[in-house]
């Protein structure tokens, strides 16, 4: 069944959108990510203009995150204090990102900038995550074979431990500065506005490797924070840039809410190292796909289209 999208000004198959939303919802529940870094490129691949794909992608992420956040809340795997600090920074970062997107659109560089940021961030983060996760899984296997528990990730200290304005996070069992979570929240909020993502592909590894939070708590906290940031960003995009297509987002939201429940159940059955390896491979796959699109010349270098009178 084909529907016409008034904002994107194109037709698209509803069943395809539902399947996309379902798949991204599974990823949201499984990894604690919003899934926007998957759905936004997919929409662009289908011909949806990049600004509308970004704005509508944020709406879909918000919907799928609600379902995941409720489930994590019932399982008590959310650090609300950490989520609140991340959210504070996220709102500032998102506001700046919406203004920056408007400027990039005005100068005609928005689509190129979005693709470039995707390739750089996803390629870098995916590679680092894959290397670390494989090494962690190797150490775990070796320790199990030797009959030892292996080294604990939380036993190491880094430069973050020396920062001021420290506070305790009882759920995560941390005593660290509030500055890194605020900075992370601002960066994630900016990415949400610019790329239409929840930012979980950056937030999850940062909380695990930099702040040393337990993986299960990280996933729940990430989903909870993403829910609010993406909802705020969606409202800002609709108000400031008019780039949210509700008819495009509704099937994605329905599929995302359903898929998040299945992803959450699957995630409970996997080891933390396995979750991180799968996420790293997924991130690298998306980065590779976008790189190919940037490198391969289009079949039609120039195109002509009519414009509506304002």
Contacts for 7 with CB less than 8 Å, ≥ 6 apart:
52, 242, 243, 244, 245, 246, 247, 248
pLDDT tens, position by position, 205-243? 788 878 888 877 888 888 888 888 888 888 887 887 788
Q: Strands 10-13, 174-177: parallel, antiparallel or unpaired by DSSP?
A: unpaired
Q: What is the pTM of this model?
A: 0.64
Of the chain, the percentage scoring pLDDT greater than 70 comes to 79
pLDDT at 109: 78
Name the residue ranges covered by the structural domains of the chain. 2-144+154-294
pLDDT tens, position by position, 254-310? 887 788 777 777 766 666 666 667 767 777 777 777 677 666 665 554 444 444 444
What is the distance of C-alpha 194 from the center of its chain? 12
SS3 of 12, please? strand
Phi, psi of 167 (to 5 degrees): -150, 165
pLDDT at 166: 86
pLDDT at 274: 66
pLDDT tens, position by position, 169-203? 888 888 888 898 899 889 888 877 877 666 666 78
Structure tokens at 257: 């809410």
Q: How far apart are the C-alpha atoms of 230 and 63, rounded to whole Å?
A: 9
């Amino acid at each position: 069944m084909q529907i016409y999208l008034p904002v994107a000004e194109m037709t698209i198959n509803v069943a395809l959108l539902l399947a996309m939303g379902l798949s991204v919802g599974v990823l949201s529940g499984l990894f604690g990510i919003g899934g926007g870094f998957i759905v936004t490129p997919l929409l662009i691949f289908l011909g949806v203009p990049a600004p509308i794909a970004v704005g509508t992608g944020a709406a879909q992420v918000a919907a799928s995150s609600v379902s995941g956040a409720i489930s994590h809340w019932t399982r008590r795997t959310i650090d609300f204090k950490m989520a609140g600090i991340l959210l504070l920074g996220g709102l500032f970062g998102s506001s700046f990102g919406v203004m920056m997107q408007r400027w990039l659109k005005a100068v005609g560089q928005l689509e190129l900038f979005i693709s470039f940021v995707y390739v750089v961030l996803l390629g870098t983060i995916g590679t680092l995550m894959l290397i670390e996760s494989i090494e962690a899984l190797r150490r775990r296997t070796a320790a199990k074979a030797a009959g030892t528990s292996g080294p604990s990730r939380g036993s190491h200290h880094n430069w973050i431990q020396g920062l001021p304005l420290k506070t305790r996070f009882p759920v995560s069992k941390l005593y660290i500065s509030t500055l890194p979570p605020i900075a992370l929240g601002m960066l994630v909020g900016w990415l949400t506005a610019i790329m239409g993502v929840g930012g979980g592909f950056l937030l999850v590894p940062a909380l695990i490797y930099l702040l040393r939070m337990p993986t299960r708590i990280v996933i729940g906290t990430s989903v909870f924070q993403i829910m609010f940031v993406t909802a705020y960003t969606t409202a800002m995009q609709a108000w400031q840039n008019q780039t949210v297509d509700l008819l495009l987002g509704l099937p994605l939201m329905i599929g995302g809410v359903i898929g998040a429940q299945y992803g959450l159940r699957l995630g409970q059955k996997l080891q933390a190292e396995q979750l991180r390896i799968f996420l790293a491979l997924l991130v690298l796959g998306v980065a590779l796909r976008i790189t190919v699109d940037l490198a391969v010349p289009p079949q039609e270098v120039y195109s002509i289209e009519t414009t509506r009178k304002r």
